[in-house]
Amino acid sequence: DTGVSQDPRHKITKRGQNVTFRCDPISEHNRLYWYRQTLGQGPEFLTYFQNEAQLEKSRLLSDRFSAERPKGSFSTLEIQRTEQGDSAMYLCASSPFVGTLGSPLHFGNGTRLTVT
C-alpha cells in the first residue's frame, strides 16, 4: 500500500492557462474523489468516480473543470482558462467500495495551485 499519490505537488500558472493534475489512488480502491481546499476552509467536494464512471459532480465544478478516470485507474483533473479564484489545494482521495456506507477516504498530499 503506497498510498494516494498526487502530481505535481505545486503548480504556479498564469491566469488564462490550462493546468492538469494527476492522481494515482491506492491500487485496490475503486472509488476516487477530488476535493478543493482553500485557506482556512474544509475540503469542498468536486467530483467522484466509481471505477471509470463519474457518478457525481458538484455545482462547484464549472464547465472549465473536467475530470477523467480512464480504465478506472489514475485520474486527471483539468482546469481550463484558469482564474485567480482557482488558487487552492486540490486533494485526491480514494476508498474501497464494499457495498456499505462509510468507507473511510484515504487522502493524498494534494496539489497546491497558484494562479498569478
Partner 1 sequence: AQTVTQSQPEMSVQEAETVTLSCTYDTSESNYYLFWYKQPPSRQMILVIRQEAYKQQNATENRFSVNFQKAAKSFSLKISDSQLGDTAMYFCARGSQGNLIFGKGTKLSVKP
Residue whose CB is less far from partner 1, 70 or 102:
102
User: Counting contacts by CB under 8 A, is residue 99 touching partner 1?
Assistant: no
How many CA atoms lie within 13 Å of 40's alpha carbon, on the beta-carbon side? 0
The residue within the footprint of partner 1, chosen from 27, 28, 40, 71 (CB under 8 A), is 40
Radius of gyration of the chain (CA): 14
Please report how close the Cβ of residue 17 comes to partner 1 at its closest, in angstroms.
Answer: 26
- Beta-bridge partner residues of 50: 31, 53
CA distance 40 to 29: 29
The residue within the footprint of partner 1, chosen from 14, 28, 42, 84 (CB under 8 A), is 42
Question: How far out from the chain centre does Cα 67 lie?
Answer: 8
Point out which residues bind partner 1 (CB under 8 A): 3-4, 31, 33, 40-45, 48, 56, 91, 95, 97, 101-105, 107-110
